[in-house]
Structure 1
Amino acid sequence: MNTTAPRSPSAPSPAQLLEIATTAAFAAAEYIRGLDRDGLAREYKTSSHDIVTEHDRASEEIIVSELQRLLPSARIVGEEGGVRPAEQPAAESEGPQVSFFVDPIDGTSNFAAGLPLFCVSIGVAIGDELVAGVIDAPILGQVFAAAAGEATLNGRPLRPRATRPAADALVLSGFPGQRIGNEFPEFAARAQRSLENGVSSVRHLGTAALELAYVAAGWADATSLGTINAWDVAAGFHILRRAGGTIRTWPGKAGVAQADHLQPAYVACTGQERLSVLDELHEELQELRDAAL
């Protein structure tokens, strides 16, 4: 899993960018697999719902070190370290800025509790366009990846399939969640009932990246959140689209449309068919946010 060949002076291809991201994700996954995960110490960032461990930071540093070694002209946006500008300027021939969106451990609460539902997630954009992504679940032995071709799971293609009708649909989501509950408590209470009554079943895995990957694999029909960051979803958005899925996003409190992976609210479905209950709830949430501006 070592990428040591020198780069050409032209812009890296999506396949080359995926190889770089996969190498960095593998290095972090190897570190995580070597840990004794009993009794991990945790710290709180914004609240008890937003935790971090020393291993989140260590994993990110491993990833950053690999990415800077393999592509020093790239910008890195990490959950723990924020925006790291390119170490060296890109050549004019390389075109728009390459950005890596890094979540070193997505699902930290699960990781800290000893559950295996967590992953390393690295999405790659050229300018504002996602071109590659890898999601590596170290304990589960699952590596989801995509560049310009088919999305894969452990090297095997993920075949597109239709979204099931709502009555049969499984949704992986924590929507509306605690943050929206604080923001719009009446809406959140009603939205939770509408979602649970509107589809066959709802499950919350506690990791947005794996929820997107599992929808991409066709193991669930949709996933959705109303408040998210680019490092959580960049890889998953690209993998899901390359697997034949569809994504709608909303601009949230900012009220300004951006590239999908930079928007805070989304509904992703495994096929071209949409689950109207989720899309309609997000339309209503956006109207509430717009009215509050």
Structure 2
Amino acid sequence: MTSQDTGLDTRFTLATAIAREAGAMALDYFNRRDSLVIETKRDLQDVVSIADRNVETLIREKVEAALPGDGFLGEEFGHTAGTSGYTWVVDPIDGTAPFVNGMPNWCVSIAVLHDGVPVIGVIDAPCHGEVYAAATGRGAELNGRRLSLDPSRTIRNGMTGLGANSYVTPEAVADIVSRLLHEGGTFMRNGSGALMLAYVAAGRLVGYYEPYMHAWDCLAGYCLVTEAGGWHLPFPTEGEKLTRGSPVVAAGPGARIDLEKLAGLA
């Protein structure tokens, strides 16, 4: 076993344990959400609470204590460079809007990059009792059950996940929906891009497209999709690009061509 394999195994074990602990903390906040003070960021739909900040702080502190040379990027507190070649990319609560409104469609998303490539992805969805976990070359699992995508599933016999936010014009969103429906597809949006990417890995959705998304929302899901046998559009992780938004596209093998067309890539 190489030192890189050992480093990956160590971080995969740690990421899975931290995701479960962070998920339990987030669920406790969710169960007493009426007491939370809700703030807005970019607009009235972009919300945050002390739950987001404290869950991210928990994850950061656990990583720093165990692996002080690793870098860390979190949605709430930004980027800290590391020296090990590994960087943790975290959304403490992806789907804060569903979270504060009492809906279960949120998750804790933890990715680990090695030299810019997502090599670990763990997504904990506490309200559903589900933990999605993947590491490069080790496959993807949901609660310990191996995930493997069915190539017969397409946009015409399955559901496609779509995401949107204020970075994207209403007209662009309407066009995406229109083109998908004209191709015989149907869609869903549950408020958490990370969770919908996990659903692609699990075969519940045949693909996912969001024109503008951040690294902390997608990189864990990307690792899951890859290890389940799917495809995703590369996300730019070089330098400052890691902290900026980019289009996100992922698909099972039977839906890739249609998702590439939907995203204007083909």
Bin the TM-score by the shorter chain.
Answer: 0.7 to 0.9
Which residue in 1 is equivalent to 2:139? Answer: 150
Change (3 A) 1:140 1:250: closer
Structure 1 residue matching 2:198: 3-state secondary structure:
helix
Which residue in 2 is equivalent to 1:104? Answer: 92
Partner Cα distance (1:229, 1:78) in 2: 10
The alignment of Structure 1 onto Structure 2 pairs a total of residues equal to: 259
TM normalised by structure 1 equals 0.80
Change (3 A) 1:22 1:196: same
Which residue in 2 is equivalent to 1:126? Answer: 114
Q: For structure 2, which runs of at least 5 residues remain unmatched after alignment? A: none
Aligned partner (choices 78, 82, 95) of residue 74 of structure 2: 78
- Aligned-residue RMSD, C-alpha: 2.6
Residues 1:23 and 2:17 aligned together = yes
Structure 1 residue matching 2:149: 3-state secondary structure:
coil
Alpha-carbon contact 2:153-2:254 (below 8 Å) kept: no
**CA displacement at 1:29 relative to structure 2:** 1.2
Which residue in 2 is equivalent to 1:137? Answer: 125
Which residue in 2 is equivalent to 1:5? Answer: none
Output the amino acid matched with 1:172.
G
**CA displacement at 1:218 relative to structure 2:** 0.6
Return 100-109 or 242-251, whichever deviates more: 242-251
Change (3 A) 1:199 1:41: farther
**CA displacement at 1:167 relative to structure 2:** 2.2
Which residue in 1 is equivalent to 2:8? Answer: 14
Q: For structure 1, which runs of at least 5 residues remain unmatched after alignment? A: 1-9, 91-96, 287-293
Aligned partner (choices 151, 163, 171) of residue 174 of structure 1: 163
Aligned partner (choices 223, 246, 251) of residue 264 of structure 1: 246
Which residue in 2 is equivalent to 1:93? Answer: none
Alpha-carbon contact 2:53-2:92 (below 8 Å) kept: yes
Question: What is the CA deviation profile of residues 241-272 of structure 1, one whole-angstrom value per residue up to 9, with x for unaligned ones?
Answer: 00001112477xxxx9x999976112211225
TM normalised by structure 2 equals 0.88
Return 11-20 or 131-140, whichever deviates more: 11-20
Output the amino acid matched with 1:201.
T
Residues 1:57 and 2:57 aligned together = no
Question: What is the CA deviation profile of residues 182-218 of structure 1, one whole-angstrom value per residue up to 9, with x for unaligned ones?
Answer: 6xx3x44333211233243100011111101111001
Within a 5 Å distance, the mapping from 1:164-243 to structure 2 comes to 164-175=153-164, 177-181=165-169, 185=171, 187-243=172-228
Change (3 A) 1:260 1:269: farther
Partner Cα distance (1:225, 1:51) in 2: 19
Change (3 A) 1:172 1:191: closer
**CA displacement at 1:15 relative to structure 2:** 2.0
Structure 1 residue matching 2:14: 3-state secondary structure:
helix
Residues 1:66 and 2:66 aligned together = no
Change (3 A) 1:136 1:230: same
Partner Cα distance (1:150, 1:214) in 2: 15
Residues 1:42 and 2:30 aligned together = no
Partner Cα distance (2:116, 2:244) in 1: 9
Which residue in 2 is equivalent to 1:6? Answer: none
Question: What is the CA deviation profile of residues 2-41 of structure 1, one whole-angstrom value per residue up to 9, with x for unaligned ones?
Answer: xxxxxxxx55432221111112212211212323334233
Structure 2 residue matching 1:271: 3-state secondary structure:
coil
Which residue in 2 is equivalent to 1:283? Answer: 264
Question: What is the CA deviation profile of residues 128-152 of structure 1, one whole-angstrom value per residue up to 9, with x for unaligned ones?
Answer: 1211110001121100001131100
Output the amino acid matched with 2:32.
R
**CA displacement at 1:273 relative to structure 2:** 4.4
Output the amino acid matched with 1:280.
K
Change (3 A) 1:128 1:262: farther
Change (3 A) 1:53 1:259: closer
| Percent of pairs with identical residues | 32
